[in-house]
Structure 1
Amino acid sequence: MELNIGIIDSDQANEFLRSLWAEIATEFGSCGWSYMPYKDIQGKRIHFGVMAAGQHALAVSISYKDRGSIINLYFDYPDTKKSLELDSPLGQQLKRVVRKARRNMGNYQKYLVTEQIKSYFPLSFYETKFFKSGLLSEEVTEISFPVWAYDNNQCNGLAVQKLNQIMDFLAVETNVPFWKNPEKMKIHAKSTAVLKTEQYQDDDFISEYSLQNDCLVISKKGKAFLDFMINNNDINEDLNKFLNACYHFHTARKYDAQIFDYKGYKHTLSEDESRLEVDIYTKNKDLETAFRLGNSHTEIASTLYMSALEVVTLIGFKEDKCDSCGQTKFSIMRRVKELASKYLNPVAADSLSDYYNKRSEYLHKGSILTNPTPSFSSVPLLDKDDNTGTNFPVKVMVDHLREDTSYILRNFYKEHFANILS
């Protein structure tokens, strides 16, 4: 059975498909999939697999002219010996559903999503048109935001995506990792009588955590950015790249946490004040197992922090290649270093550039970023390839890299997306 669709734009094609699957679920009671996609390049056909529309099992495919387009839509029985006819009752029913899906494109339902997220500290109270946060405990925050979707199933997928994007952005704003709270807390009367005054981050925040009154705080522009991000189903290319950079940062932060946030150090003077004593204590027992995996987390985190900066340099960048050799004239390494120079002081920018070089050696030459020959205390040695001239045991200071990266990302979005944050 063949139905003409004639949608050339790829975004519109996906919008039609989202509307279609929701309409089929409404019409037939369900729209499940044995999703086994493959592309017939010669025949310009994409096969999705077998759809369970109520009691009917149907093979579904589309034909295309250019990538991302839908010229025709095909429904047929999986058993090739039997063909679904357009003038059959099922064929006419599907035809009506397809027409309705075309008419209803963009007619979303609004769903309110409420989730709980967890971190080392709760997020302070914030309320905008599309976002609200409230403290539940010393670690847990309840957040609410709307999602626009065609049905419950698609709402669930979009809600997970939006929640992850929110947590990724909050990690960049605050320097701490976030997780979805695995066991939702019950809201008691005590937890509702919490801070109801919005607190904002200092503009020059860079080191440690973004804290006020034992709550994590974001900037006023960060609050506006959250509102804009949540209110947009169709995220433009620049915003999508920035959110991808936030994802890389947040993933790095979670690896970083497994080394740097497990143990803490308290410095106290001895009773006779003759020496400084260092006590080690457990900051977060949840990270104990991961801590035992070792310093490989340091290398993974370093790589991902630098990847976040690489992604940001793609925003607004138009690749210019040499006519003679075909190589890109403006390398990623150079773009990252210029980004660092723009937002950091010269010393910090030089350090980050050095880290970038070491990260490249780790990826492409197999160099190790952590001490390959650890000892109880440092043993000074020479290294002719290191910029210090020594074999310093830590090649990349991950906590410094984390703070420099998040500082650059914060300043970048405030400048690049200034028109939507005013």
Structure 2
Amino acid sequence: MILDIGITDVKKSNEFLRSLWAEMAKEFGKCGWQYIPYKNKQTKTITFGFMDIGVSILIAGVTYKNNGSIIKLFFEYSDASYDYEYIEGQEDKLIKESELGKRLIRVVRKARRGMRKYNDYYALPTIKSLLPLSNYEGNNFKTEYVGENKTRIYFPVSAYDENQVEGKITQKINQVIDFLSVETNAPFWNIPTTPRENKENTVLTKEVYQELDFIDGFSVKDGYLTISEEAKDFLSYLIDSNGENEDLQTFLNACYHFHTARKYDAQIHDYQGHFDRPLEDGSGVGIEIYTKNQDLRTALVTGGAQTEIATTLYMSALEVVTLIGFQSEKCKACNQDKYSIASRVRNLVNKQLNSHIAKQLNDYYDKRSRYLHRGYMLTNDEPTTSLIPLLDIDGENGCNFPVQVSLINLREYTSYILRAFYKEYFLNKENIKE
């Protein structure tokens, strides 16, 4: 059984499919999948797999003209005697005039009419960080500290059904915490939300915002992580977004790179601390190591690899954000696109910070490239109890240094640049407050 659809844009195609599967579940009580995608470029068909709607298990798929289009939609019984795809002109076992065929036609029509007609839901996920997040309330969200460095976030979500809303909530909260990491320099984690979370007695009656031009350490006031007023506006914008703004998605991808790096970074700099303890005989001072955050204990078994990975991801975050508004040029010799990645990053850093840091990060970029493509390590693989000077022909100063990249500095430079970028690009470009 084949039905005409005629959608030529991938975004509209996926919107139709989301509406279709929700209507299918509503009509038949279930819409389960054995998802085995198969694309035949010769026949221009895509078979999704086996769809279980209770009354039958069907093969379902589409025909297309260009990638992302849906010209026709097909359904067939899974036990029909032909290959795992639809072949033009084949004899249909599932026909439109059958009872099931009529129901499927009705579902498809409802799905077309119901596109972008969502149900409204409300999300209340819980997140955690190294420090508690202060309370904020925007146009469409609210954060509420509930104790033990945990914060509950309330925001609306629209989706076709409960199955799809769970995915949207997960996607949205991941975007939120990636952005919060950039805003505060702290890592965040999703944690299970319990129905009866005991709220700490601390009452935050007034919104507290971070210092202007914050760059060092965490953005903290009175023991709470803080964000800027611009960040509150951006969060409202982010929560309202439906994924269609490509520049916003690119920026969020950069935030994801930063936050992933920050979690590796945390295993080095936030797992353990130390304090000085005078020796009993008065002969000197001993250094005692203590665990700051037991959740980061994987640092013990993964060694120094976090430095390599975090450096790569921090630099990648800067690369990604420079794609926004970038138009590539063609190489005259080979006619391939010229991306000038190092130059783009250097120009961005020079604009938001200064030429000295731009030069320093350009050196980091070169080190990262040597790490990725030549196996050049960013940490000394010959550690000693105390430093001894050694030569290195690739070293900036001609010397071998235990750590080739200052990870804390790189973290702080990267987050500062990303914060400056979103305030300049998005808050000026989009009228978020209205």
Same fold (TM over 0.5): yes
The residue matched to 1:145 in structure 2 has which SS?
strand
Distance 1:202 1:291 in 2: 35
C-alpha root-mean-square deviation of aligned residues, in Å? 2.0
The answer to whether residue 418 in structure 2 is matched with residue 409 in structure 1 is yes
Match of 1:49? Answer: 49
TM-score, with structure 1 as normaliser: 0.95
Bigger mean CA offset, 322-331 vs 402-411: 322-331
Contact 1:259 1:291 in 2 (8 A): no
Deviations 1:87-125 (A, max 9, x none): 111001100110011001000011000011011111111
Match of 1:58? Answer: 58
Match of 2:298? Answer: 289
Deviations 1:379-403 (A, max 9, x none): 1111122112210110011111111
The answer to whether residue 234 in structure 2 is matched with residue 225 in structure 1 is yes
Deviation at 1:340, TM superposition (A): 1.1
Match of 2:274? Answer: 265
Distance 1:110 1:319 in 2: 41
Deviations 1:223-255 (A, max 9, x none): 111101111123311000000111111111111
The answer to whether residue 210 in structure 2 is matched with residue 201 in structure 1 is yes
Deviation at 1:349, TM superposition (A): 2.1
Distance 2:281 2:328 in 1: 65
The residue matched to 2:329 in structure 1 has which SS?
coil
Q: 2:137 aligns with which of 127, 133, 151?
A: 127
Residue type of the alignment partner of 1:46: I
Contact 1:262 1:291 in 2 (8 A): no
Match of 1:251? Answer: 260
The residue matched to 1:311 in structure 2 has which SS?
helix
The answer to whether residue 182 in structure 2 is matched with residue 172 in structure 1 is yes
Question: 5+ unaligned residues in a row in structure 2: which ranges?
Answer: 82-91
The answer to whether residue 350 in structure 2 is matched with residue 341 in structure 1 is yes
The answer to whether residue 112 in structure 2 is matched with residue 102 in structure 1 is yes
In 2 relative to 1, CA 138–33 (structure 1 residues): closer, same or farther, beyond 3 Å? same
Distance 1:235 1:226 in 2: 16
In 2 relative to 1, CA 126–273 (structure 1 residues): closer, same or farther, beyond 3 Å? farther
Distance 1:334 1:403 in 2: 20
Residue type of the alignment partner of 1:314: L
Deviation at 1:146, TM superposition (A): 1.0
Question: 5+ unaligned residues in a row in structure 1: which ranges?
Answer: none
How many residues matched? 421
Contact 1:168 1:243 in 2 (8 A): yes
In 2 relative to 1, CA 13–330 (structure 1 residues): closer, same or farther, beyond 3 Å? closer
Q: Percent identity?
A: 54
TM-score, with structure 2 as normaliser: 0.93
The answer to whether residue 38 in structure 2 is matched with residue 28 in structure 1 is no
Contact 2:125 2:193 in 1 (8 A): no
Contact 1:148 1:233 in 2 (8 A): no
Distance 1:187 1:58 in 2: 44
Deviation at 1:79, TM superposition (A): 1.3
Distance 2:235 2:195 in 1: 24
The residue matched to 2:61 in structure 1 has which SS?
strand
The residue matched to 1:347 in structure 2 has which SS?
helix
Distance 2:285 2:219 in 1: 28
In 2 relative to 1, CA 376–287 (structure 1 residues): closer, same or farther, beyond 3 Å? same
The answer to whether residue 210 in structure 2 is matched with residue 212 in structure 1 is no
Deviation at 1:357, TM superposition (A): 0.8
Distance 1:311 1:122 in 2: 29
